[in-house]
Structure 1
Amino acid sequence: MMRKLFVLLCALTAFMGAHAAAQPVVSPGDVNAAGELRMLSQRLAKSYVQLGLDVVPAAALEQLQDSIVRFERNLERMQALAAAVPPAAPAIERLRGDWAALRAAVAEPADRARALLASRRSLDVLESAERLVIVLEVAADSGGARRVIQAGRLRMLSQRVVKAYMLYSWGADTAASRSEMESAADEFGRSLTTLAALPGNTADMRAELSEIALQWEWLRTALSVEGAGSYRLVVAEAADSILAATDRLVRLHQNVESR
């Protein structure tokens, strides 16, 4: 009897070890957290520019502070992955350095020169975060992770396009700011079309995609109005609405991937 129990326990231990080994090191939540770093880099810079323009400054300050807290929390989560995913370590180290530079850039009150510096630093952070996302996507080895990343990119673009719009409306390096705004807007539109065409979208996903499309049309209209400083508030509010909807979409894909 004892021998049978011993054999059973050994078999169970072996099964549990094999099952644990089969579990991916990188979870859908890890992929989402890394992708969110991209968005937070642009949200932080956008909020900083809004403060400089005095566009709903109380909300902008709250968003800036929230972005810092969330970025550092997610960065610590990435650091915890470094041992399990060695290729991620260099990307995380670079990200830390770029993040420190961005934090320093937004430490003083915003004027046009500092706003431009913050935007450039935010793009460095964005590039480093993209590299990390690519590494984690490979480690996750899952088609579902790709969907989380694709949907998460909409979050970032919603903030990047408005950051560039705010800079452009402020007269801060207008040619470059306009180019960034138009490029981000074009990518947002293409990405939204691609996501809507993916097979396997659930009813909830389709509902969120429809909401995003409606909000996006409203935002595109506001972006196209030349020289209307009063539209800054409209653009800021539309960006917040799109960010909320895109975040819900990301979490829907994450939940499907986690099953």
Structure 2
Amino acid sequence: MKKKKTNTLLIISVILFTCNIISSQSNNFGAITYGKAINISGKQRMLSQKMSKAYLLLAKGISDAAIKKELNSSKFIFEKQLQILTKNASSSSVKLSIKKVEQLWSVFKEVITSTPNPQNCLRIMKMNTSLLKACNDVVVSIENNFSYNNQFFQNKNKELVNTINVSGKQRMLSQRLCLYYTASTMFTEESDEYRKVLTSVYTEFDTVIGNLLISSYNSTEIEEELGSIMGLWEKFQTNPKGLFNGEFQLQEIFSTTNQLTKSFNKITGLYESISND
């Protein structure tokens, strides 16, 4: 009887040990966690828009050292993070999505490293969305890979990984808003097209703020940061037509969207830290 009890405990211990190993492996994307992988890949979306915006502003004649720094640092970070994702990717679907980004990036990089001029700005406007979509496909591939690896464990981490993705996307939308606001003031012939994108970005950003405000993962620190975001966003909420019609000063749009990006970067990092617990 005692031996049978000992064998039962041994079997349970082995099962629990095996489950812990599988759980640990399923939560890792190579040498990093899936939470970090979603955060990093999501940041690539934002950087694609940030570089595009900075290039347009420089071409518009706004000779600001901070904008030049933004363009150069964003390019460096984008390439470094692409290397990290490539190094840690294991599934064929993720590798294929990263390969697509690499192909588009090689062409995009040539343009943003050239002397800013209106013609290349139009090229940027035609190219940026393709790069953005490719970067988003990487995020989706990583998120799907996480869900597949976690089929055995129906836990809250899947929902949390999605929250990291959604929060991280707000960084991109902040930069995309500034990009298309700038473009609509630069190119009158394409302004209607750019304003449609601007309106869509505004609507999505505004909707997601409301959704994140009621997230069950919110800590006091996250809620306080969301409160700061609402304070910044209020000027656009109370005057959306002014935003769509180009009534705000470009410097104000640049400053506000950068602050929004910074705040959502902090929030996304806080959500990521929960996934590591």
The normalised TM-score by structure 2 is: 0.82
Per the TM alignment, residue 110 of structure 1 is displaced from its structure 2 partner at its CA by 2.1
Match of 2:100 among 58, 74, 94: 94
**Distance between the aligned counterparts of 2:54 and 2:14, measured in 1?**
52
Who is 2:177 aligned against? 161
> In the alignment, is residue 174 of structure 1 matched against residue 191 of structure 2?
yes
Contact preservation (8 Å) 2:217, 2:271: no
In the alignment, is the contact (CA less than 8 A) between 1:25 and 1:139 conserved in 2? Answer: no
- 2-structure distance, mates of 1:205, 1:227: 31
Alignment partners' CA distance in 2, 1:54 and 1:192: 33
Alignment of 1:211-222 (within 5 A): 211-219=228-236, 221=239
Counterpart of 1:9 in structure 2 is: none
- Shifted more, 21-30 versus 158-167: the winner is 21-30
Shift in Å at residue 120 of structure 1?
2.3
Q: 2:80 aligns with which of 65, 73, 76?
A: 73
In 1: Cα distance, 2:229 partner to 2:63 partner: 23
Quote the offset at 1:80 in angstroms. Answer: 1.0
Counterpart of 2:215? 198
Which residue number in structure 2 is paired with residue 41 of structure 1?
48
Following superposition, the deviation at residue 106 of structure 1 comes to 1.3
Which of 258, 262, 265 pairs up with 1:240? 258
1:146 paired with 2:170, answer no
Partner of 1:25: 28
Indicate whether 1:106 and 2:112 are aligned.
Answer: yes
Aligned length: 247
Query: Structure 2: 5+ residue runs without aligned partners?
Result: 1-12, 148-157
CA contact (8 A) 1:162 1:236 kept: yes
> How far 1:199 moved relative to its partner?
2.2
Tell me how far 1:191 sits from its aligned partner: 1.1
RMSD, matched Cα: 2.3
Contact (CA 8 Å) 1:105, 1:121: kept in 2 or not?
no
Q: 2:54–2:70: 8 Å Cα contact kept in structure 1?
A: yes
Matched residue type, 2:79: E
Q: Work out which of the residue numbers 40, 53, 60 in structure 1 matches 2:67.
A: 60
Task: Output one character per residue of 1:175-212: Cα deviation in whole Å (capped at 9) or x when no partner.
Answer: 11111111111111011111112223111111111111
The answer (yes or no) to whether the contact 2:111–2:120 under 8 Å persists in 1 is: yes
TM-score (normalised: structure 1): 0.88
- The equivalent residue for 2:151 is none
Unpaired runs of at least 5, structure 1: 1-11
Q: Distance in 2 between matches of 1:216 and 1:131?
A: 28
- Opposite residue 211 of structure 2, the aligned amino acid is T
Identity %: 18
